[in-house]
């Protein structure tokens, strides 16, 4: 069960987030959110690559290094802090969102970008 309220909060059940497989959830068709679960850690970010706007959810996840690579121009970003690991492509970081775990629910706070996060 997925829901969004007026405060731009995205809610999912933990069972809706596959382990080690990036997913995209949209808010009213206007904003895409990248969600990644690696074991017990959950990361959320704007799904648009800060380099050219391609969807990061279509990218390659390296679960061991906790990075995601955009397939458009091979920009790689660290999920924990959004930093670009490919400064020759872009130095712009991913925009991260705060993630809260509430029992079996995961709440992503979209309205305010957040610095390094995982739960």
Q: Which residues have a Cβ under 8 Å from the Cβ of 18 and sit 6 or more positions away?
A: 37
Is the pLDDT assigned to residue 61 strictly greater than 60?
Answer: yes
Fold category of 3-113 in CATH: Rieske Iron-sulfur Protein (2.102.10)
What pLDDT score does 35 carry? 98
The answer on pLDDT for 114 being more than 80 is no
Q: Residue 8: which pLDDT band, with cuts at 50, 70 and 90?
A: confident
pLDDT digits (tens, 9 = 90+) for 67-110: 999 999 999 999 999 999 999 999 999 999 999 999 999 999 98
Sorted by where each begins, the domain ranges of the chain are 3-113
- Mapped onto helix, strand or coil, the DSSP state of residue 2 is coil
**Cut 0.85: pTM above it:** yes
Q: In what order do the strands lie in the sheet with 97-102?
A: 3-4, 9-13, 105-113, 97-102
């Amino acid at each position: 069960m997925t829901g969004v309220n007026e405060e731009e909060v995205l809610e999912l059940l933990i069972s809706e987030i596959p382990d080690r497989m990036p997913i995209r959830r949209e808010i009213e068709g206007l904003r895409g959110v990248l969600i990644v679960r690696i074991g017990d850690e959950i990361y959320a970010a704007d799904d648009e690559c800060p380099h050219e706007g391609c969807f990061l959810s279509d990218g390659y996840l390296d679960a061991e290094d906790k990075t995601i690579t955009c397939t458009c121009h091979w920009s790689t970003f660290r999920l924990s802090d959004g930093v670009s690991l490919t400064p020759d492509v872009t130095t712009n970081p991913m925009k991260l969102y705060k993630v809260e775990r509430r029992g079996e629910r995961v709440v992503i706070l979209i309205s305010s970008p957040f610095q390094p996060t995982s739960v």
